[in-house]
Structure 1
């Protein structure tokens, strides 16, 4: 009798879930961006939200919940109802770095989320304020060695790819440069532009406009291949430091337990929005490459990236107390 009762209960819950899935969506969807306005992690959801609002028939809104390299926003979504109405714009840091940087994380990247889609990716670019007397990576390394603990590098926060890129530069080239962390890439960029900080190794999409305008000097692209958006800028390997590699990917995840039918629907909607010509053109102009994979592919990718970034963090000795 008990087993029949349990079976009936399970079947009943399944029926309720199926009915809920069939009626999805029927209220506003919130895209939580765990970083401040003014960065690519804020731009991507704001580009896709209007298109998804139109195609899904409900309002898709963007909510900024910044702090601790994305951890605060991630924790908010990790504890949200798994119904497809609260989603997270997650970066490399949120899903593949923070667990190796922070001793006490408020969420578990591999347990608290359902991967929906890897939206886009971009390499980082090492740039300096024009007042820095270096035009190449070799010149920058030589200058840093001649003036130890004098040159500074900004980052979007402890554990960000810009932080790890700077630490990797220190390890790979044997220089002593001083880390200056910020709450997000926008304030970090402002202090590099003003000359208060010497350099930053941030994602290409965040720095390319200032490079094109001559406000910053490009030193190297920290990806495996040169970027068509930055012609003439060598990769770090071409510039003489092959172990300096950094980049970032931007994705969307849902709380763990979100029904597969909802995840698949969201994957289809995000993919269509990302492949809209206007969105694609805007992101590619900033040096981003559209990925738009399937949830299963993205899940495997996260696992591989987490293992890779564990090694990068260990080599750099990065840690946040």
Structure 2
């Protein structure tokens, strides 16, 4: 009997000590450097956003926030690293719409489930896709573009940032909604696709303001419409796709942060507050606005709900496109 009581006492003491240790850990978070794992090479939009936010979060939390670039595999290299990391709030995954809502359907085999293997921490920013054509194109509106595509037996070509990218999915949606014949031409990123659009090798493209904006401002491209439910302040006078007569072709690229499943709620709360403070700061808000982005201040649970809705929205579009990557 005494042995049984002694074992129960030890068990209760162990639980008490573990709880105290967890509480102390939460109170001290963060006590060392935090790493943001980015699935792209340095210099791209995701990397730039991550580094801007990291600097602010570091100042708020009083610890270094480092960026670790792990490109490749549609986010699988970075995602797998974070998925296998200790769930303590010190290793986070920064990604975009593709990593969190598209690629798990696009790839035949994918190494993580964004909704099951991670906990949402915070959204950061989003930016709408713009339908653009070359400055020499004869079309000046979405309806003229549709009419031209219908008039040609071979249809029109549209460039994208790659197979399964949002640019690909929006072109697919536009073809489905309008009956226009649109032939997909995938590229490895926006830069080569825009080059061929400018020179007339392809007819149209959905792209983000960050990369196409300078070409629109420089007169090399014409913006026909914004693939967003509302007009875009950076492009006054450019209508939405819906206003142009094409419903259901909306798609913004959004960026967010997740952590390994099991990360303590206290750490998630602290990180969310620091990231929201960063993205709503005056200097970052202006910097983002100049690049065609807007902050998305959300709670962790709101971001989780957004991720779920985006997975539900993009999954049938990816399947309908027939696109798959081995």
What TM-score, normalized to structure 2? 0.88
Residues of 2 paired with 1:158 and 1:187: CA distance? 14
Listed one character per residue, the Cα deviations across residues 240-261 of structure 1 (whole Å, up to 9, x for unaligned) are 2223222222111111111111
8 Å CA contact 2:131–2:206 kept in 1: the answer is yes
Farther-moved stretch of structure 1 (223-232 vs 181-190): 181-190
Residue 48 of structure 1: aligned partner: 53
Asked whether the 8 Å contact 1:89–1:252 carries over to 2, the reply is: yes
Aligned equivalent of 2:290: 285
- The 1:221–1:278 alpha-carbon spacing in structure 2 relative to 1, beyond 3 Å, is same
> Which SS does the other structure have where 2:297 is aligned?
coil
Which shows bigger deviation, 238-247 or 190-199? 190-199
1:116 counterpart = 2:121: yes
Are 1:146 and 2:151 counterparts?
Answer: yes
Cα distance in 1, alignment partners of residues 207 and 150 from structure 2: 22
Tell me by how many angstroms 1:309 deviates.
1.9
Cα distance change, pair 187–255 in 1 and its aligned pair in 2 (3 A): farther
Is structure 2 residue 148 aligned with structure 1 residue 159? Answer: no
Map 1:295-310; keep pairs closer than 5 Å: 295-310=300-315
Separation in structure 1 between the aligned mates of residue 154 and residue 12 of structure 2, nearest angstrom: 67
Q: Which stretch shows the higher mean deviation, 149-158 or 126-135?
A: 149-158
**Equivalent pair of 1:154/1:188 in contact (CA under 8 Å):** yes
Give distance in 1, aligned partners of 2:75 and 2:155.
29
C-alpha spacing 1:171/1:19, structure 2 compared with 1 (3 Å)? same
Spell out, residue by residue over 1:26-53, the C-alpha distance to the aligned partner (whole angstroms, 9 max, x if none): 3322212223444432221121122222
C-alpha root-mean-square deviation of aligned residues, in Å? 2.4
Which piece of structure 1 moves more, 100-109 or 49-58?
A: 49-58
What's the offset of the Cα at 1:150? 6.2
Equivalent residues in 2 for 1:184-203, closer than 5 Å = 184-203=189-208
Check conservation: 1:25, 1:58, Cα contact below 8 A: yes
1: CA distance between counterparts of 2:172 and 2:41? 23
Q: Secondary structure at the match of 1:70?
A: helix
Query: How far did 1:166 drift?
Result: 1.4
Question: Which range is displaced more, 211-220 or 136-145?
Answer: 136-145
Contact preservation (8 Å) 1:68, 1:157: no
Q: Distance in 1 between matches of 2:188 and 2:42?
A: 11
What residue number does 1:65 align with?
Answer: 70
Structure 2, unpaired ranges of 5+:
none
Runs of 5+ unmatched residues, structure 1: none
For residue 116 of structure 1, report the CA deviation from its aligned partner: 0.7
Partner Cα distance (1:202, 1:36) in 2 = 19
| Aligned residue-pair number | 321
Of 203, 210, 213 in structure 1, the residue corresponding to residue 215 of structure 2 is 210
Instruction: Output one character per residue of 1:203-237: Cα deviation in whole Å (capped at 9) or x when no partner.
Output: 33432232122121111111111111111111111
Distance 1:140 1:312 in 2: 22
Instruction: Note closer, same or farther for the CA distance 1:262–1:190 as it changes in structure 2 (3 Å cut).
Output: farther
Is the 8 Å Cα contact of residues 40 and 206 (structure 1) preserved in structure 2? no
Alignment of 1:203-242 (within 5 A): 203-242=208-247
SS in 2 for 1:69: helix
The aligned residue for residue 102 of structure 2 is 97
The match for 1:88 is 93
Inter-partner Cα distance in structure 2 for 1:222 and 1:184:
19
Larger radius of gyration: 2
Residue by residue over 1:268-295, the C-alpha shift from the partner in whole angstroms, topping out at 9 and shown as x without a partner, is 1111111110100111233322121111
